[in-house]
Amino acid sequence: MTGIPLPTVQRLIRVLMTLPGVGPRTAQRLAMHVLQLPPLEVQRLVEAIQEARMSVRSCAQCFSMTEDEVCAICRDPQRATGGLCVVEAPLNVWAIERTGAFRGHYHVLMGVLSPLHGVGPEQLKIRELMERLRSGQYQEVVLALNPTVEGEATCTYLAAQIRPLGVRITRLAAGLPMGADIEYVDELTLLRALQGRLDL
Ligand SMILES: [Zn+2]
């Protein structure tokens, strides 16, 4: 594959290539880097990966990432009355947290509807979302999905499901560019989008 006649190195490169965004060239460069590290450094790298993977889990309530059974945001009693913000992924929770503009709970869908990729409502945390909303704890749900075609379609689907419950439904205001990822939007743009959220 790489012309490197060492089976252990070939295997390392193959494993590195399973990481997102890592092609053959990057994998080869990373492998060469690792092979020149002192053994103790390699051990630290391996341990950091293992420790993070073993410690981090899905929050039992919101499905964001946490090192506890339930995350710090879900445990915060002051946030229980602030509405429920629906996002695609844990990174989006932290992006919105950085704006300081939302003081409620979150619900991470773990993706968006994507029929082409075989992602239907059952593959997402939609059933769990509906259970949380039916509990009557939340007066408002903020749909904060990425402004992509799939995000928009998911918003429309969720709004139709939630509307019969009589919960106020809002979504992020325009200002977010189409095709953008909330994770990479600057804080001010995201803040404006949250402040100008619209009723659905
Ligand atoms: Zn949580």
Centroid of ligand 1 to alpha carbon of 27 (angstroms) = 35
pLDDT of 183 reads: 82
Does the reported pTM lie above 0.95? no
Centroid of ligand 1 to alpha carbon of 104 (angstroms) = 11
Mean per-residue pLDDT, 57-81:
95
Q: Which domains, from first to last, does the chain contain?
A: 7-55 (1.10.8.420), 68-199 (3.40.1360.10)
Centroid of ligand 1 to alpha carbon of 18 (angstroms) = 29
Centroid of ligand 1 to alpha carbon of 53 (angstroms) = 18
Centroid of ligand 1 to alpha carbon of 72 (angstroms) = 7
Centroid of ligand 1 to alpha carbon of 71 (angstroms) = 4
Question: 66 phi and psi, to 5 degrees?
Answer: -150, 160
The amino acid at 156: T
Centroid of ligand 1 to alpha carbon of 65 (angstroms) = 8
Percent of the chain with pLDDT over 90: 75
Q: What is the mean pLDDT of the chain?
A: 91
Centroid of ligand 1 to alpha carbon of 123 (angstroms) = 19
Report d(CA 97, CA 102) in Å as an integer. Answer: 7
How far CA 8 is from CA of 12, 13, 24, 77, 99, in Å, comes to: 6, 9, 16, 52, 46
Residue 193: beta bridge partners? Answer: none
Question: Mind listing the pLDDT tens digit for each residue in 115-152?
Answer: 999 999 999 999 999 999 999 999 999 999 987 889 98
CB-hemisphere CA count at 13 Å for 59? 22
Centroid of ligand 1 to alpha carbon of 182 (angstroms) = 19
User: Burial of 107 by CB count in 10 Å (0-12 exposed, 13-18 middle, 19+ buried)?
Assistant: buried
Q: Answer for the pair 79, 99: CB distance below 8 angstroms, yes or no.
A: no
